[in-house]
Chain A
Amino acid sequence: MTSAQLFNFTTIGYFAAMVLFFAYLATRNKTVALTATVATWVGLALNTAAIAMRWVESTRMGYGHAPLSNLYESVVFFAWSIVLIYLLMDLKYRQRAVGAFVIPLSFFGMIWAQLSLSDSIEPLVPALQSNWLTYHVITCFLGYAGFGVAFGASIMYLIKVGKEEKSDPDSPAGGILSIFPSARVLDDINYKAIMIGFPLLTLGIITGAAWANYAWGTYWSWDPKETWSLIVWFIYAAFLHARFTRGWVGRKAAWLSIIGFGSTIFCYLGVNLVLSGLHSYGGS
């Protein structure tokens, strides 16, 4: 089986998971939630196999580099990272409704990669021929994924608190909201996911600096991509400090988390599409 086919199945898997999670919101049926989670695990397995197969194919072509070198490869890896972090957190929290707000990120990522990005395996240009590439990309994307999960939880939080405030405070929220985790748990998921993402982003920035120092002789040059990663870092550092000591839980934390993820996406894609600099995704 080729990696392209496996990526197709991955997309189908995430699609099925997403639809099932939506169905769970509608039906509030525990079995549906379980099926959705199983579909997510299957999707992750397929995604993993697809990435591994792409690596094998690259080796067969005589290049043999990890599939983390262009926009297509980074998007499918981002999808993988988000699902991984989501499932790890699911093991602890078992709040299945969150899946309906996180899995779509991976599904739309996969769809975008497959429909409009070039999936050809290209050899590495000299600047990317380094093991630092692998460490740098893996740590950054796992960090981004943490922020992605936090983003999903924050959206849910805002919906939940918004609805609760409108309705009678004594009666529990009905409808879809009844299977949303409690505001406290959502806030906690937001915080935990950022706690996973932040040290990983820190590591991503450090590995990037180490690589830059090795390849260009300067660990920091205020290149737009570097600067944006630092901006994201500042935002989440502000989030953590505001929260740690002054109990900035709740609505403000949710909004900071959403702004943080927006900046993350700009750092990942916007910088390349709008600004100019060293990170060009191999000319794509």
Chain B
Amino acid sequence: MTAKNRSFIDALWDFCCSLKLTVVSLILLAATSIIGTVIQQNRDPSEYLQLYGETTYRIFEALQLFDMYHSWWFLTLLALFALNLTACSIKRFPRVWRMVRQPVLTPEDSHYRTLSNMEEVVTKDSPENLRDKLAAVIKENFSAPTITEKDGRIHLYAEKGSWSRFGVYVTHISILVIFLGAIIGNVFGYKAFVSIVEGSEADQVWLRGTREPVDLGFTLRCESFSVTYYEGSMRPKEFKSLITVVENGEEVIKDRPVIVNDPLKHNGIVFYQSSYGPAGDPFFTFEVTERASGESQTYRLRKGQRQMLPGGASFRVADFAPSFQNFGPAARVDVMPTGSSPRSFTVLKNFPQFDQQRGGDYIFNFVDYKQRQYTGLQVAKDPGVWVVWAGCLLLVVGSMVAFFLSHRRIWVTIRSLDGKSGIMIGGSAHRNQPAFEGFFDDFKKKLREEVKGS
């Protein structure tokens, strides 16, 4: 490998490890993420065209701004972030491992000069006396020191929370684990949707986006769907589907209520109550009374279906609304009498006497209607979700350790100086230096008092 190549690789590696890259990629991720909250994502092209016009639409489309969180550039940014995270960890870990396993027990003077918390004291006491006194003070105020004598100098070293140095690596790995979980979910799982009409079955679901069918390997039957409301209001209380699962001709789950926040799970596939709506035309029940004879008859019919009445006339339900203004269910009825033009009027289910006042030959009473519903279920298969949760757990534990604990170290070196003793005191914390500085100032004071008191 030539020197030029070598230096290029070094430079690339340094770039991957740099903290500047971390801060820049975090800020870029934050800034670009805003775009997708302003431009609604994954809508119909026609909606975008209407909103932005042709030119802007083409530019946005080319930049993949309509599905930006899955665009090549956003994924590249995430990959860069992950690469940076990995490279930083690989670069720093060995040094940190050494620092924890093999602390500097016999620091040179130059070591003290690198510490931002440093103090030198000269006193008359003998080094041996000082060693015992200072060891006691350090133990009382910090932790028990390791004492090493080397080249006529006495070194005291004490530390706290050395393992907290690993918290940051746990945090970094946790983010990679979350990414891994997301990838597993994307590759081996799917998100889909299925609508099932009450009383019918489905053994396929449709993928979100591509709308391709996927076989479930079992059958779902929607027994019924219902909405309940809080008393005296139109505020929904519960959306409920009763679902039966049939596998190999056997009902393995029967009449399981599936409600929002309580999904149904079977064979690793989860079904969530998500929407509902009317399925097909409702069936209407009408009681029609002939005004002349006073005779009544009941009819069941669908919307638009023509129904003969006694006396040669006929009628049909032209239109229907489950809630007409504040009057409840309403139907528009067309009557086609023999020999005169058709007449159109509205009947209300909640006001049975209403149509008498119209004064027609036939009095219509809207007795009831049956509307079959379909239930819409979100379907998800995500084998990566537990990996994501494991990552989240590591993230919380790792960041707590990284934030709230710090590796604090104190060194004291004592040497004799013509019958006097010189003491060097140094300390460092790998996180949260200001707090350590406060502690160290106090600590120095105590040490000095101890030394002076002798």
Residues of A within 8 A of B (CB): 122-123, 125-127, 129-130, 184-185, 187-188, 191-192, 195, 198-199, 202-203, 206, 209-210, 213-220, 222, 224, 227-228, 230-231, 234-235, 237-238, 240-242, 244-246, 249, 263, 271, 275-276
Contacts and interface: CB of A to CB of B under 8 A. Distances in A.
Contacts of A127: 260-261
A271 B239 CA distance: 27
A126 B19 contact: no
Interface of B: 19, 22-23, 26-27, 29-30, 33-34, 36-38, 40-41, 69, 182, 191, 230, 235-239, 259-261, 263, 270, 272-274, 378-380, 382, 385, 388-389, 392, 395-396, 399-400, 403-404, 431-432, 434-435, 437
B378 A216 contact: yes
A125 B30 contact: no
- Nearest first, the 7 closest Cβ-Cβ pairs linking A and B are A217-B380, A234-B30, A126-B260, A238-B26, A224-B37, A188-B434, A130-B261
A213 B400 CA distance: 24
A53 B395 CA distance: 36
Nearest to A271: B37
Given A126-B261, A209-B392, A217 B235 contact: no
A244 B431 contact: yes
A19 to B, nearest CB: 31
Contacts of B263: 214-215, 217
Contact of A234 (B33, B38, B435): B33
A123 B261 contact: no
B388 A219 contact: yes
Nearest to A224: B37
Contacts of B237: 123, 126
Given A217-B191, A238-B27, A129 B33 contact: no
Contacts of A195: 403-404
Contact of A275 (B26, B37, B259): B37
B262 to A, nearest CB: 9
Contact of B434 (A129, A187, A244, A245): A187
B409 to A, nearest CB: 17
Given A130-B261, A227-B33, A235-B27, 12 more contacts: A122-B235, A195-B404, A198-B403, A199-B403, A206-B396, A209-B392, A215-B261, A217-B272, A218-B380, A222-B36, A242-B23, A275-B38
Nearest to B271: A217
A202 B395 CA distance: 8
Contact of A217 (B19, B41, B378): B378
Nearest to B269: A217
A152 B240 CA distance: 47
A1 B392 CA distance: 43
Contacts of B392: 206, 209
Contacts of B27: 234-235, 238
Given A126-B238, A216-B274, A217-B263, A188 B435 contact: yes
A90 to B, nearest CB: 16
17 contacts: A123-B230, A126-B259, A129-B260, A198-B399, A206-B392, A209-B388, A209-B392, A215-B261, A217-B191, A222-B41, A224-B36, A234-B26, A238-B23, A242-B19, A242-B23, A246-B19, A271-B37
Contacts of A129: 260-261
Given A202-B395, A231-B33, A191 B261 contact: no
A203 B397 CA distance: 10
Nearest to B274: A216
A118 to B, nearest CB: 14
A188 B404 CA distance: 13
B430 to A, nearest CB: 9
Contacts of B40: 276
A242 B380 CA distance: 39
A87 to B, nearest CB: 19
Given A199-B399, A241-B22, A216 B272 contact: yes
